[in-house]
Amino acid sequence: MAIPVIDFSTLNGDKRGETLALLHDACKNWGCFLIENHEIEGKLMEKVKKTINSYYEENLKESFYQSEIVKRLEKKKNTSDIDWESAFFIWHRPTSNIRQIPNLSEELCQTMDEYIEKLVELAENLSELMSENLGLEKDYIKKAFSGSNGPAMGTKVAKYPECPYPELVRGLREHTDAGGIILLLQDDKIPGLEFFKDGKWIEIPPSKNNAIFVNTGDQIEVLSNGLYKSVVHRVMPDKNGSRLSVASFYNPIGDAIISPAPKLLYPSSYRYGDYLELYGKTKFGEKAPRFESIKNMANEH
């Protein structure tokens, strides 16, 4: 089973409809996909990976291997509730905290700022395509995520360090993501990410050519009334190398009120007799407009 690939370069040509259909299917049936030709420069993405890898080597690696997690794994006891990862969070929007994080070089901060600016554009572009595919206003997801000062954008920077006993521990235990749209810049050599689909774990290979891996979080599932899915995933550690994961999330801000888009909800609380009457007049038409009419009638009562 191959992960769906969304080629952004086709969105302005005759293949737009086909690409939108592919994206809709990926959001419904996979909860994840790859984006190619996203127009974020490869050079910039390489620099993000390089500066973060150096930061890990210089500031985090040693303390990770001295941590309690490592001691517990060496004793080979009680390893089911630990994650073999070295991670930290950065907030970018609405306000950035990147310069408050200890020991991040100005080069890393500037590189991340530049990368995130492009990534917000990509996330918003994607949120518009997803809104369009759901039959909602183009800016529906953005507005729903906005609250008083949003949407929010943050990044979880993680390394999944080389692990002597990968069979005893997870890099990151099975979970779904809480938020909205997650855009992942990941390692180009070391694998480890896995998504659960149709009863099986699917390995997501390392990203080639700086393709961005996207998955949708719980809020997209709720907002789409379950049409789009947030899918369970995990990270497996590797015996032969450390995996880099730079996961940026385009999320609702804390005070955003989330609910299923009313347009996507089934009608409710109507008299069946009213339905039948309408049905008599619209039997040979599409059922979606009939549902819309019934919703309006139910609202009037």
- Pick the closest to residue 163 from 234, 65, 92, 95 (CA basis): 65
In the complex, what is the shortest distance from the CB of residue 155 to Fe ion, in angstroms, rounded to a whole number?
13
In the complex, what is the shortest distance from the CB of residue 51 to Fe ion, in angstroms, rounded to a whole number?
23
Q: Which is nearer to Fe ion, 230 or 242 (CB)?
A: 230
| Residue, CB closest to Fe ion | 177
Q: Which is nearer to Fe ion, 177 or 238 (CB)?
A: 177
In the complex, what is the shortest distance from the CB of residue 15 to Fe ion, in angstroms, rounded to a whole number?
31
Strands 172-175 and 233-235: antiparallel
Task: Give φ, ψ of 53 to 5 degrees.
Answer: -60, -40
- In this structure, what token pair is assigned to residue 169? 């521990």
Which of the stretches 11-19, 38-46, 176-184, 216-224 binds Fe ion when contact is defined by CB under 5 A? 176-184
Q: Assess 177 for contact with Fe ion (CB under 5 A).
A: yes
Kind plus residue range of the DSSP H or E element containing 299? helix 287-300
Which of the stretches 30-38, 109-117, 174-182, 224-232 binds Fe ion when contact is defined by CB under 5 A? 174-182
Q: Which is nearer to Fe ion, 161 or 261 (CB)?
A: 161
> Checking phi first, is residue 73 left (phi over 0); if not, alpha (psi -120 to 50) or beta?
alpha
Q: Which is nearer to Fe ion, 93 or 234 (CB)?
A: 234
Q: 294 by DSSP, 3-state: which? A: helix
Q: Is the peptide bond before 94 cis (omega within 30 degrees of 0)?
A: yes
Q: Assess 221 for contact with Fe ion (CB under 5 A).
A: no
Q: Which is nearer to Fe ion, 158 or 294 (CB)?
A: 158
In the complex, what is the shortest distance from the CB of residue 126 to Fe ion, in angstroms, rounded to a whole number?
17
Residue with tokens 């929010």: 152
Which of the stretches 41-49, 65-73, 172-180, 274-282 binds Fe ion when contact is defined by CB under 5 A? 172-180
- Contact at 8 Å (CB) between 244 and 54? no
Q: Which is nearer to Fe ion, 193 or 294 (CB)?
A: 193
- How are strands ordered across the β-sheet holding 32-36? 5-7, 32-36, 212-216, 181-186, 243-251, 152-160, 86-93
d(C-alpha 272, C-alpha 270), whole Å? 6
Which of the stretches 173-181, 186-194, 220-228, 260-268 binds Fe ion when contact is defined by CB under 5 A? 173-181
Q: Assess 85 for contact with Fe ion (CB under 5 A).
A: no
Size of the site for Fe ion (CB under 5 A): 1
d(C-alpha 273, C-alpha 282), whole Å? 14
In the complex, what is the shortest distance from the CB of residue 113 to Fe ion, in angstroms, rounded to a whole number?
24
Residues that bind Fe ion (CB under 5 A): 177
